[in-house]
Structure 1
């Protein structure tokens, strides 16, 4: 951004913080009447109304000390967070219903009560993000969710206007000032210089709340000076390829809040400050359309879910700015209930930014190499079916890092055959010393070798070196030197080559690993990760690993050299992001006679 920007002068000339920031001509009632009558909103409105019916029959859940203290006592988060997020769901639902049906007094009363209850919360932060040794330290902390809450309350206060009693409007302003603005201006926060989603979400929410609430231009200038700096730090976490190393879920989250802030700032500054004109920002915007493999399956490296939905409002907003941005198919739209964190900002914008004229279509065949991230992603269309392949190099010190250099994902005909397990249940240990003991984080839960019983190591020195990458009409190829990923003294070299052959009616994948040791290793496992139960059987006179879809209509065959390798299958489980036990299978190929120099090849064919 321009370093010599006259921020103070821009702030003094800002457009008013009013309904014109949200609706054409600032006509709120006309907009919501149009929503009620347009079929494009029908599904979303049904979900919101059903949630309203459910919540009307329940009381406001209480955030007790016992729930709050669980994280400190046993390191678990979900118990408190479920109640916390249910309160936000209640706020969002009755705020939207009050906008849709301003004549319904019952919706407004329910909204007033939950807003008052949220203002009563001891802290808006989550227990996992605070130092619980004193209330003073907690009140000085701004985390993702306290910042989001302040932004949400500020926006609801503006949009609901006189539907909120004067006392409630006054209290919201006081609480946001006390919990966000004062601690923000009082001292620096660690996330202000982060190069990942915390900078965008926290700074974007604080800056957005200030743009909506703050009347003092000098104080607003002080806040925006800091939030602008944080946004620059956030963008430093991206390479020129625009890849979000934290995965699509965190792209939706971090980049989403970056855009929400950028939109409000652009409008209030009358276009004088426009982050969306930045070249890097335009490349980040395109990440979404690059990481889908087919259907809802994505290249979910890092702490990301294997199946993803899109925020339609955000997507349509970006499509209106960037000509090359592809609107996603409506079948991938995230439902109102889908966000388990119940965030207000995307829920609102999925309605006010929805463009009924943009229907979108399934992303077609495409190949991408994201050079900075070292990700190769390919989609192949064959009739009505889609096939996808993704592989990565990179380093084992990335945001939400997994030890996964050389790992790959294989998708075809509606199934993910070779998987990335994604994110596990967030606990204290998950982000602590035990992180890589979790299968979803350590290399033992990825499709990479295990050498002498040990997997890859974490840290900046564990990096892949790209030896070759090519994308051609008939074949894609990625060749990686993975030697530095392992701390094995006997390992002199490990080269992995992945060849994605697109010539036939169905693509095929070949993975070739070349090993050099100073002496034969004690043990070596070539591991493939899948969520589909494998079967080792004889096909055409040779042993192979066969995976079949649930309906039996499609499958995958993994061919290997049975003269040199023994195949075995191990069922394992881990706790997924929502705290549920999730089953996965490790397909291991072990050399019958390890050698100092070995080349092992595996063929993956769809059936």
Structure 2
């Protein structure tokens, strides 16, 4: 796609000289920076940034001792190293933007301390991604491990150098030179000269995420257009391979949180190219590129809630600048409005809170800077609305709504696919239900990452394995991982008020489940104000089927066959035939901070057991209480 359209000679001729390329005004251009404060929102942003940066003045920078690095190899813990690692970069972002806003030198020494400290790190690669020798808990020092966050660090340092070049150079030309050398040595040159980084394959979010940050760093540093054009073309191949993994529906199998660093990172890559070539490189007219952007608003369920299949939190703030800019480039008003609403906590008349979002792991500067200059500070969003029917045929995801109005009525989402998706959960046939904008039947999400999360023991984790979803356990046997574990005979229909997804699940199970067939049908009947989940099965011998539903609200047993989920303002009633199924309800305490961020300290687990015969069927109906 990109590499075929734009060869190296074209790129070399189209590239603007580095001195002529100004993606943002450097801080020395005071008229541009002071002009920002013509808008009240930017006055609030400036005040927020200055206050946060002032609180950091003279404070010690977080330490990154080798003993913290070694914890991943020793006990699987990622967080204790990653937290101070990212804190350094987030602190740097606030200090750099504060100096750019004020430009009086108050923050320079602390900025220089941070730049010097990051330049001294033994590696920019986090422990979970580093290459190590056998039985060595520390990263190899004879070659660079270029991972997501090494690339992100390169971009952040290059952007800080660009924004504050005159001020930094005035204090220490040696520091400016060191930043250039460290960025090139650790990231740019290895990517130019090596082909052993697995993310060059285009397999998942790593590819555009690394490519965008590597390219951005290189564009800030390289004057040699022949060298830069060759690097661009190499990275174009990477992004092309990434795009080729998507279907024409643009669906992101990694979920909406990873969209921000998958298609969202691709947007940053395309913007680097568009800007440095003065618009000569532009693929925003390609239908698949447009569809990849539109996946994000499609996966937005209501308010802060998103459809969190795969390793995604259920509660997510849109990445403001990326979503808005994507909407601008593809002419999608819904994307732009979603970004503006997310800034205002989903109230069109509400204040922007916080005034400026320092988002991302280590890329806070990248995103905050683009929010300042890519988004109009005076635009007011419209009320949120939704498509009542979304069908992503390549991803095999249905999102069906009773109403197009926000926080109104039933919403049901269900998925097919296979059990070897990116950030996969064993969840073929899983169903999520919302009522009046509130989660009722949920996808739990994923706990804080540890070594186990991406190990052969991944599917022992309770919220990733099939039993952490509402796919049936058959004879006590769960779905299994693997590309061959897939949905078949997948059929989506929409007929007036009725939307339906039907799919066969038997190929998702290993032989010991004893399945001949298992067909699940998920129906939204908007006229009846009901979601119906029905399973029909055939077994080699009689065996029980067990369904487990998780909800973030208390559950009351009203009568045999009727449970009330305490959603607000209306309760959701779950009904089943008590002669065909038995129910138990229990509270599950949550200790993991990632899960607590979405659900609080507890979930309620509903278990329905159907005794099973050689053939049979059952149905569960969800309706609002009247």
TM-score by length of structure 2 reads 0.90
Q: CA deviation at 1:107?
A: 1.6
Structure 2 residue runs of 5 or longer lacking an equivalent are: 344-352
2:395 aligned partner:
373
Partner of 2:337: 328
Query: Residue 284 of structure 2 contacts residue 330 of structure 2 at CA under 8 Å; is this kept in 1?
Result: no
8 Å Cα contact 1:297-1:306 kept in structure 2: yes
Secondary structure of the 2:557 match is strand
Measured in 1, the distance between the counterparts of 2:605 and 2:511 equals 22
Matched, 1:553 2:569: yes
- Asked if 2 retains the 8 angstrom alpha-carbon contact of 1:424 and 1:574, the reply is no
2:418 is aligned, of 391, 395, 398, to 395
The match for 1:584 is: 603
**1:535 equivalent among 556, 566, 569:** 556
Q: Which stretch shows the higher mean deviation, 187-196 or 19-28?
A: 19-28
Corresponding residue number in structure 1 for 2:53:
52
**Alpha carbons of 1:455 and 1:286: their partners in 2 closer, same or farther (altered >3 Å)?**
same
Any idea what the Cα deviations from partners look like across 1:439-478, whole Å, max 9, x if unmatched? 2211111111111222110001110124421124411100
| CA displacement at 1:312 relative to structure 2 | 2.0
Q: 1:274 aligns with which of 275, 282, 291?
A: 282
Moved more, 80-89 or 181-190: 181-190
Matches within 5 A, 1:43-442: 44-56=45-57, 58-103=59-104, 105-133=105-133, 136=140, 139-165=143-169, 166-188=173-195, 189-326=197-334, 327-329=336-338, 330-333=340-343, 335=354, 336-337=357-358, 339=360, 341-366=362-387, 367-381=389-403, 385-386=407-408, 387-442=410-465
Q: Name stretches of at least 5 consecutive residues in structure 1 with no aligned partner.
A: none
CA gap of 1:185–1:384, structure 2 versus 1, over 3 A, is closer
Once the two structures are TM-superposed, the CA of residue 23 in structure 1 deviates from its matched residue by: 4.2
Find the partner of 2:562 among 518, 522, 544. Answer: 544
Aligned to 1:21: 22
Contact (CA 8 Å) 1:195, 1:233: kept in 2 or not?
yes
2:531/2:623 contact within 8 Å kept? yes
What is the TM-score normalised by the length of structure 1? 0.93
Cα distance change on mapping 1:560 and 1:135 into 2, 3 Å: closer
- Any conservation in 2 of the 1:211–1:265 contact (CA below 8 Å)? no
Instruction: Tell me the equivalent position of 1:6.
Output: 7
- In the aligned structure 2, how far is the partner of 1:135 from the partner of 1:292? 39
Match of 1:502 in 2: 526
Kept in 2, the 8 Å contact 1:316–1:355? The answer is no
Deviations 1:396-450 (A, max 9, x none): 0000000000001111223200001112111111111221111221111111111
1:86 and 1:342 in contact (8 A); partners too: no
Q: Distance in 1 between matches of 2:113 and 2:147?
A: 24
Change in CA separation of 1:578 and 1:49 when aligned onto 2, cut-off 3 Å: farther
Q: Which moved more, 1:190-199 or 1:568-577?
A: 568-577
* Cα pair distance change 1:575/1:302, threshold 3 Å: farther
Quick one: structure 1 residues 508 and 40, their matched pair in 2 at CA, closer, same or farther if it must change by over 3 Å?
farther
Secondary structure, aligned partner of 1:145: helix
In the alignment, the residues of structure 2 paired with residue 6 and residue 414 of structure 1 have an alpha-carbon distance, to the nearest angstrom, of: 48
Which has the larger displacement, 362-371 or 76-85?
Answer: 362-371
Partners of 2:612 and 2:32 lie apart in 1 by 70
RMSD between aligned residues: 2.3
The answer on 1:485 being equivalent to 2:492 is no
- Shift in alpha-carbon separation, 1:299–1:466, aligned structure 2, 3 A: farther
Mapped to 2, the partners of 1:54 and 1:27 lie a distance apart of 24
Shift of 1:20: 4.8
- Aligned pair 1:462/2:485, yes or no? yes
Q: CA deviation at 1:520?
A: 0.4
Residues 403 and 458 in structure 1, CA contact (< 8 A), matched pair in contact too = yes
Give the whole-Å Cα distance in 2 for the aligned partners of 1:50 and 1:410.
Answer: 42
Q: In structure 1, which of residues 517, 520, 523 is the aligned counterpart of residue 539 of structure 2?
A: 517
Segment drifting more, 243-252 vs 488-497 = 488-497
Change (3 A) 1:178 1:467: closer
Contact 2:534 2:619 in 1 (8 A): yes
Closer, same or farther: CA 603–409 of 1 in aligned 2, 3 Å:
same
Deviates more, 1:57-66 or 1:569-578: 569-578
Q: Deviations over 1:538-578 (max 9, x none)?
A: 2xxx54111113xx632111000011211002333565464
Check conservation: 2:587, 2:604, Cα contact below 8 A.
yes
Change (3 A) 1:579 1:590: closer
Q: Retained in 1: the 8 A contact 2:26–2:164?
A: no
Once the two structures are TM-superposed, the CA of residue 9 in structure 1 deviates from its matched residue by 4.3
